[in-house]
Amino acid sequence: MRFVLDPPDPSTVDDLVREAHHAAGLGFDAMLCRATPTLPASLVTAAAVLARVPVLRVVAEIPLGDQHPLLAAEEAAVVDVAGAGRLILLIRPAPGVEERFLEAATLLRTALRARPFRFTGEHWTVPANLPTNNDHEDRYRMMPAPYQPRMEIWCAGVDASVALDHGFGHLADTGTPAEVLADSSTDPLRLDLARARHDPWHGEPDPLVDRLRAGRSQFGQDWSVVRADAEGMARIAGSVRPRIQLDRLPEGLADGWADGWADRSRQDQA
């Protein structure tokens, strides 16, 4: 199980970077960057975080369907190269143009494949070959290529089955019923796709451990997005994650884990 920190809304970039450093230090796999009124372009924010926190991945949430998907692909590719392959792109339907989302997502992924392509869709055609433009090309190649060989892309705001059927990982919002996410498919291609969920954190490890075990069992959950402060992060790192990585731990192993990490958290904050 991998863990993504959803930080409390930062008021400054220093707050965000502090949270990111703390998460990285505790072994979190990634931090979520989403648009806020102060920081509306999450990929610009992601670039800044990736620059200052060398080992952490960043999950950058962007709306898709309003601006040209090719431009979104370029921005993601540049941020991924600058961050040496540590970007996870989380796409969500842009409000008001939800009907364009799947076409936009397909064009985005096509562009990120790092080879010349031609895309013909209802809303976008690349290259457009507009009669008034000269130098028509049959195909277009987006550059630079992402540094990852295959850009990790998750969908949110759509059904899991829709995301998976189109070859994207899926992030389920908090409160999504398990039966909606349940997936008994053994298709190896589907098993390669990320299954993530926002999981509530109320300070106690046991309920989260139980929820994650159920998620893994019901729909193959392998990423958990949690909102937690510094102490919460320490408890998750010290008492949740160690207990969820294997199906079963030897009896007695986990005894006392919680106290140890609580001590460490207090030391870190001292």
Which residues of the shown chain bind other proteins in the complex (CB under 8 A)? 13, 35, 38-41, 43-45, 47-48, 50-52, 66-68, 70-71, 74-75, 77-79, 81-85, 124-130, 132-137, 140-145, 147
Please say which residue, 126 or 208, places its beta carbon nearer to other proteins: 126
What are 140's strand-pairing partners? Answer: 117
Of 12 and 217, nearer to other proteins (C-beta) is 12
Q: Pick from 138, 142, 181: which is nearest to 163 by CA? A: 181
Closest CA to 113 of 91, 145, 72: 145
- At 199 the three-state DSSP class reads strand
- Compare residues 141 and 266 and give the one whose CB is closer to other proteins: 141
Dihedral-angle region of residue 129 (phi above 0 means left; psi in -120 to 50 means alpha; beta otherwise): left
Between 124 and 257, CB nearer to other proteins: 124
Residue 247 beta carbon to other proteins: minimum distance, rounded to whole angstroms: 37
C-alpha pair distances (Å), 221 with each of 170, 240, 260? 10, 15, 27
Closest approach of other proteins to the CB of residue 64, in Å: 12
Q: Are 196 and 222 within 8 A, CB to CB?
A: yes
48 or 88: CB nearest other proteins:
48
Contact (CB, 8 A) for 256 and 221: no
Q: How far is the CB of 97 from other proteins (least distance, A)?
A: 12
State in angstroms the smallest separation of the CB of 79 from other proteins: 5
Residue 71 C-beta: closest distance to other proteins, Å: 6
